[in-house]
Structure 1
Amino acid sequence: MSFRILFIECVCEDQELLERNIIEILRYSEDYKSMSEELAVDDLRKKLEHYMRQYEPIDASLETISFVRVENMGETVTAQKVAGQKESGILGYLSGLRPLPQTLYFTRHGESEYNVIGRIGGDASLSPRGQTYARGLAQHMNALADLELLTVWTSELRRTKQTAAEIRAPKRAVRALNELDAGICEGLTYEEMQERFPQEFAWRDQDKLRYRYPWGESYIDIMTRLRPVLSALEDEHNVIVVGHQAMNCPT
């Protein structure tokens, strides 16, 4: 069917990494929440033994296949017949893996004054309900900040900065996290957009993914400018990203 297949093989024989992974699985997996630690460890080790018996490694002598083999979380990366932009991007991502635990939190900003009246974009402040959300978010994240090393990334817009204001962690405003630029429709309601620019409204309704606002952006544009942000996040520890509706969806 003209598909290209890229196999990805992950092999871990580093005992320290394996034990760390087991601890992470036991801590966070829903499978073991209601199970005692002794039974959970026994069950997980039996699963691993079963996987090892069934596992069939990639045969590198088969010259017709494309594959990437990652050993011990990026200690060694082997590639064969990797071609094209997408496959090269996957290889680049796998080559940058690091054996360190990391948690990324994504949240939209609290309700803004523009949200209340249905206006697009802009740089409005939080509404009273948005301020309530900001306080609740800070209370939740501050409890985690006492246990983990956290940083906060926001956009350059007021509503994200206000949402993150009370979180006790270093903050960084990232321009690439700004909301989709609605161009000539910034500050309008969708009803006003339909009235003033009926053809634009119809085009947007037909294909929201690719539609680009005049003098503004499309969702495809957002996905492109987010790629460097995602790459940068890979090098961080634990990050809270306070973003926007359009930004968090492609993320």
Structure 2
Amino acid sequence: MAKDTTGRLHVQVKTGGKRKLSSKLWLERQLNDPYVAKAKAAGYRSRAAFKLLEIDDKFRLLKPGMAVVDLGAAPGGWSQIAAKRVGSREAKGKVVAIDLLEMSEIPGVDFAQLDFMDNDAPEKLTAMLGGKADVVMSDMAANTTGHRKTDQLRIVGLVETAVAFACDVLKPGGTFLAKTFQSGADAELLAQLKRDFATVRHVKPAASRQDSSERYVLATGFRGGTRSESDTPSRSG
């Protein structure tokens, strides 16, 4: 066990047995990540909770009484923050979380295990919310293949589909926040967002690992209205 440049003890994981080098590096990074320890101490389900906290502290997206949709919510770190900030635990606001995976119960959060790409997903979500959403947020990431260009297209495609979903369920003036990655493949995504929202910007919270190309696209001031079929990515179902 050695100390890093900040003086903190650095845990090194031994390579051995059936553990691959990639698994060793991931485990080592987790054990030495201060946000992982902070999340555990604070009772958050993931370190990603701090990313949303930082973004919301800066841009004030989540306000008491709002209706929020959390796409790809499991394990629930973002839903925990949203529930606290909109007051859904006190029945002031509403948080609906969606994921293909199961997610254990969170106070103030209504969970639906479904695919947001299904054609009837927007209708189901609107029914659960009792109306339209103020915020649609997503910390999802597409499964990677290891082929850089393919992965970039998958990531951007997932966000484009999330934008189409958001346009189905957001109130005029609403907000969309989603994880993406810095690449040259997102020009059409940004053009799409600028057509549908008044302001579009990229943000990178301090809790995002600095060696990662991860960043978030934040679109505010949804213009409302319906999109033409040519503007809307196809859904499954």
TM-score after normalising by structure 1: 0.26
TM-score after normalising by structure 2: 0.27
Rg (Cα) greater in structure: 1
Bigger share in strand: 2
